[in-house]
Amino acid sequence: MNPESADRLFTGRFLILFLATLLVALLGTFKAPLPALGDEYSHQQAYMFQQAKVLFSSDPTLSASEVLALNAKKTVVLPDSWDTTQPEFEGQGWYQIDFRLSPDKPVPSAVFMPRAIMNAHAYLNGHWIGGLGTLEGDITRHWNYPYLFQFSPDLLIPGNNTLLIQVAGYKNYRSGLGRVWLGPNSVLEPMYESSYRWQVTGSMLATLVAFASGVLLLLFARVFREQEGFLFFSLAVIVFAARNTGYFMDWIPLPHAQWGQLVHSLHAWFACLYGLFLIRYMNLGWKWIPRGLVAYAIAVSLITLAAGSEQILNFTFWLLLPVIPLVFILNVLLLTYSWRLQNFEAAILGCSSLLFVLLSIRDLATMLNLLPIESVLLSQYTGILLFVSACWVIFRRYRALLLELKASNDSLNSELAIREQQLFRQFNLLRKIEQQRAQDDERRRIMQDIHDGVGSSLVSALNLSETKPLSQDEMRDVLQECLDDLRMAIDSLDPQSDDLLALLGNFRWRYERRLKASGVTLLWSVADIPKLEGYSSRDLFDLLRIVQEIFANSLKHAKASKIELSVRWDEANDKVLLNISDNGVGMPHNTLGRGRGLAHMKIRAKAIRIELYTGRNSQEQGVAVFMAIPRMRRK
């Protein structure tokens, strides 16, 4: 999407969201649901009472019959607020409504009261028809509950009827009675259900949603950038949810006075935490205003504790007055911030908080009796908007983290691919170097074997010929030995040269003709052995050279008629035993050729980590060479 299209899209979305916020605020202020007023049909079918006689009494033992007998009642207009008609009063108000039935309307069977603060009980012609909550002591809290009392039409009389409503409340706490409806249950029950949904069920749902959004934000606060202050936002939403529990909780965990002080101080703490969030989110860099917000919240808490619950509502407006303009200004700054940076996340936060401020001002007017007490309070419903905002923030941040992670993975994969190619080239280069090194080592080994074997034999023969001429037999022996050394060097190139038995078998095949020509009998006794591990082909070739030297010495010096070779497995010691013996004259004092002899064989044996020692055969004749070869090559 090109920048111009993105600008147009953001502008359209921002304007739609902002205008929708203003529209909802206007509807909430001027067109909020007010079931207490009813509609044309309910007025045709039921009676709405807007006037009553009231008797205020602090005597909890006063009965309904005694109240009816008393004449000290004054006439009030419903809805009636004690803060206006009976300031500083705490106790019970008895509202008496006298009426006659109209033949044009159906027979009543229920009483509907949209609001009675705190609790109320109703009597019809002296008969109790229903009640909600306690009326004395620490009374329960049903200030935001509607009432519906059903009764039998037989309680009504043809002439004058009296409806007596007993209301219990606290002083300076908006106690009083709203309008009263009398009519058929089929007409009043839908009005009651609508009121209950707006005043109780909706408040419960909005509070639950707000609490869930606060917890979600609290869990994700560490994921977001700390400088944006989402921890403050999550705490503000949780405080907001705790404050909203007062809309539907009919019991409280604290005494009434302490509960009122706590709830009203939460207003200040919500404004403080939310203001801190907005300042951090926009990175304003202010120093004194955040400190002032914290000081304000602490001061309000101390003032509410010192003043007592009876005076809380009297100065709630004055306590909130300093912070409402500040939060409003911060919301305007947030919307400006959103517009400038084209940040739709900030637009959602700004519009939801702006709607909360506007609806809170409207609810505050209700609390101050500027609107009827039956008015449905709406600020708690912004908890749903806070939940939507929180989900949007979490979604956007999670999506941004995924995109960032994807970009990091792509970059890492690209770097890994480059590294892999480099490593692959280096590996191929090293492999070529290693192959060349192996070839060079193999050439050097072959050259060394030829030098030590064929070359040594030829040099020894040459030196010997310089002292005396070689006979035909001596010349044949020298040449035969050179051929044997050359064939052994060629055999070492066989890829199967790591198999000891195969090497010995090949040696037997090549050497047997020479033994027969010399009239020597070979006794071959070989058993199955495990494969030797850790030995290179060079090690086994050196072992074979030891065997060849033993045979050569037997032929040249021992004058033996029989050579015996045996191979067996010594499982107890994990070794292969290779024994070679003859029946000749025994160990000679010298050998033909330089580098030959027992010392040379022991050097080779030590180099390949095997044991070698000499002795005589089982008949105490000739020479026997014993070799112990560990299955695993020693280091």
Are 45 and 183 in contact, with CB atoms under 8 Å apart?
A: yes
Question: Which of the listed residues 142, 173, 195 is the one where a domain comes to its end?
Answer: 195
Do the Cβ atoms of 622 and 558 come closer than 8 Å? yes
Q: Cα separation of 314 and 620, whole Å?
A: 127
Residue 386 in any domain: the answer is no
Cα–Cα nearest to 113, from 138, 95, 140, 134: 95
State the total domains in the chain: 2
Q: Which of 146, 174, 195 is the last residue of a domain?
A: 195
Residue 342 lies in a domain: no
Residues with pLDDT less than 70, the chain: 1, 222-228, 307-320, 441-442, 444-446, 448-468, 470, 473-474, 477-478, 481, 484-485, 487-498, 588-597
Residue recorded with tokens 């400006």? 336
For 72, the token pair is 């000290």
Question: Which DSSP symbol is given to 533?
Answer: B
User: Residue 577 belongs to a domain with what CATH number?
Assistant: 3.30.565.10
Which CATH number goes with the domain that contains 126? 2.60.120.260
d(CA 334, CA 345): 10
Tokens found for residue 81:
């607020």
In a domain, 231, yes or no: no
3-state SS string for 312-358: HHHHHHHHHCCHHHHHHHHHHHHHHHHHHHCCHHHHHHHHHHHHHHH
Give the whole-angstrom CA distance, residue 188 versus residue 150: 10
Residue-level pLDDT at 453: 61
Point out which residues pair with 366 in neighbouring strands: none
The residues facing 111 across adjacent strands are 149, 182
**CB distance 570 to 630 below 8 Å:** no
Task: Write out the E strands in 133-212.
Answer: 147-150, 160-169, 176-177, 180-183
In a domain, 323, yes or no: no
User: Given this model, what pLDDT does residue 501 score?
Assistant: 87
Among the candidates 152, 177, 195, a domain finishes at 195
Evaluate whether 355 touches 384 at the Cβ level (below 8 Å): no
Residue 544 lies in a domain: yes
54 φ/ψ sector (left φ>0, alpha ψ -120 to 50, else beta):
beta
Instruction: Encode pLDDT of 229-247 as tens digits.
Output: 788 888 888 888 888 888 8
Instruction: Give CA separation, 469 vs 475, 476, 479, 483, 590, in Å.
Output: 10, 13, 15, 21, 20
Specify the pLDDT at position 69. 86
| Residue located via tokens 């050259």 | 447
Q: What is the pTM of this model?
A: 0.63
Cβ contacts of residue 429 below 8 Å, gap of 6+?
none
Tokens of 351: 């519009």
Can you give the pLDDT at residue 466? 67
Domain of 39, in residue numbers: 35-195
Partners of residue 92 on adjacent β-strands: 57, 168
Distances in Å between the Cα of 131 and the Cα atoms of 4, 46, 123, 149, 446 are 64, 21, 9, 8, 114
User: b/e string for 217-255 if b means 16 or more Cβ within 10 A?
Assistant: bbebbeebeeebbbbbbbbbbbbbbbbbbbbbbeebeee
270 falls within a domain: no
Question: Is 154 domain-assigned?
Answer: yes
pLDDT value, residue 271: 86
At 595 the pLDDT is: 40
Nearest 10 degrees: CA dihedral of 273, 277, 279, 281? 180
Q: Is 489 exposed, middle or buried (0-12, 13-18, 19+ CB in 10 A)?
A: buried
Is 605:595 a contact under the CB 8 Å cutoff?
no
**Helix H or strand E segment including 49:** strand 47-49
Q: What is the pLDDT of residue 591?
A: 44
Burial of 602 (0-12, 13-18, 19+ CB in 10 A): middle
Q: How far apart are CA 316 and CA 314, in angstroms?
A: 6
Residue 601: strand, helix, or coil: helix
β-pair type (180-183, 91-100): unpaired
In a domain, 133, yes or no: yes
